[in-house]
Amino acid sequence: MSQLGMTLEEIRAFAGEGEIVGSASVYCESVASLERATGNQLSFVKSPKFFDAARESAAGALLVPERISDLDTPQLVVDAPYELFGRLLMKIAEEKRRQPVGVHPRAIVDDSAILGENVTIGAGAVVREGVTIGHRTVLYAGVYVGQRTVVGADSVLHPNVVVMEDVTIGDRVVIHGGTVIGADGYGYLQIEGRHRKIPQIGAIAIADDVEIGALVTIDRATLETTAIGRGTKIGDLTHIAHNCQVGEDVLILPTVAISGSVTIGDRVVFAGRAGCSDNVDIGEDAIVAATSVAFQDVPAGTAVWGNPAREKGTEMRIQSSLRRLPQMVRDLRAVKKKLDLP
């Protein structure tokens, strides 16, 4: 299932470096983890910590950071085995998802759209008026790209992704299935007891190298631009509300919810199902722990925890005290009795 189909010699050629210990002609049909690899599978050893595991592995060949002694398995010694393994995975992934280049006859591309070279547009995909699609970008089947939206080069929009009008997407951006970019933000004005819509006419800008999971919603700004910075990675089923300014290299794990007009600094981490209320400012390199929700600004470099989120040490002391709380109820009762307090 994870086809590789290379000899160790071919892997060295692909790596452009490395010294082979043992047979260079060993054939690696596929890849696997150290624990699961069997005879014709390649695995990797991240660091000397895993040398014993490597000696017990049934892998047919190994990528290693230095020669492992007392081991018959053929080894390719490289500087960064895990990185090389990752590059091999990428090669396999690309082959598994290879698309026939070109516009499918059942795609619907408006005459005014500008398509780069070697673009792939799947069956039933819809490209509206004034759209620009960059070189080598892939739109899978069922993708919708709204009026005047620009998608950069080498990007991939998976099946049934919806990108509404006036969105800008950079180069090498990956968006997984069913995600919706550019729905209206949640904004209403109360007039005589009724909720009247505040039209959301702003834009969205997604920078280069961003990856967005499946079934994510990123809402357009009311007037200006909801922005996602370069290299930021967003997990499945996450919501990013209107007017948010998300920095670069941010990690937003699956099922996170970011309310409106939030500013998120570079390299911030929102762990799984974390969140924050609207208009808060999350400083650079801050960490919001899993399921924690920031209702106030988080200073740069700070880890917060809990709901409402507090500085991590503070919350840990509260959580630790909570476990003693039922005993404290009894202790306090005994104290009051002894002191004849009501």
Q: Give catalytic residues, as residue numbers.
A: 242
Q: How far is the CB of 286 from a copy of itself (least distance, A)?
A: 16
Distance CA 215, CA 233 (A): 14
Q: What tokens were used for 273?
A: 């199902």
- C-beta closer to a copy of itself: residue 67 or 97: 97
Which amino acid would we find at residue 82? Y
Q: How far is the CB of 322 from a copy of itself (least distance, A)?
A: 6
- C-beta closer to a copy of itself: residue 136 or 273: 273
Distance CA 288, CA 39 (A): 43
Q: How far is the CB of 58 from a copy of itself (least distance, A)?
A: 15
Q: How far is the CB of 199 from a copy of itself (least distance, A)?
A: 4
Could you tell me which of 244, 248, 271, 247 has the C-alpha nearest to residue 258? Answer: 244
- C-beta closer to a copy of itself: residue 20 or 175: 175
Burial environment of residue 235 by CB neighbours within 10 A (0 to 12, 13 to 18, 19 or more): buried
Distance CA 135, CA 249 (A): 24
- C-beta closer to a copy of itself: residue 21 or 131: 131
Distance CA 290, CA 235 (A): 13
Distance CA 225, CA 322 (A): 43
